[in-house]
Amino acid sequence: MVDTDRITGAAKELGGKLQGAVGDLTGSHRDSAEGRFREAQGAAENAYGQAKDTVRHAADRAQDYAGEAQDHAEDAYERGSHYLRRGTRQVSHQVAEYPLASLVIAGLVGFGLGLLVSANRD
């Protein structure tokens, strides 16, 4: 979408060029100067419209990237939830099938963590 400042700026710039050229041909310094002034105003307005278009385009791209990032985050969250549920089922199954071995492993892990914590205090 082209900004209206670009369109009006281009029109003013063209009108100014024409007025300046007519002023040069007729020898009217006033028309020539006014034409150059309108041409400069039109060029400035056109540049302003281009800057607005650039910012609008960048904002649209940033919004698109944010949407994509959100989609990726939601997908990662879904996969993580799935893996957590699957892992919980697997551990529950192993504990139910081998309760004594699970108790020994849990005790060894607890003992190891206790050693790590007490070693950090020394």
The pLDDT tens digits of the residues spanning 64-84 come to 999 999 999 999 999 999 999
Q: Which residue is associated with the tokens 């205090």? A: 121
Average confidence score pLDDT of the chain: 90
Cα 103 from Cα 122, distance rounded (Å): 29
Residue 122 confidence class, pLDDT cut points 50, 70, 90: low
Residue 3 pLDDT greater than 80, yes or no: no
0.75 surpassed by pTM: no
Q: Which residue is associated with the tokens 């206790």? A: 114
Question: What sections of the chain are H helices per DSSP?
Answer: 4-26, 29-97, 99-121
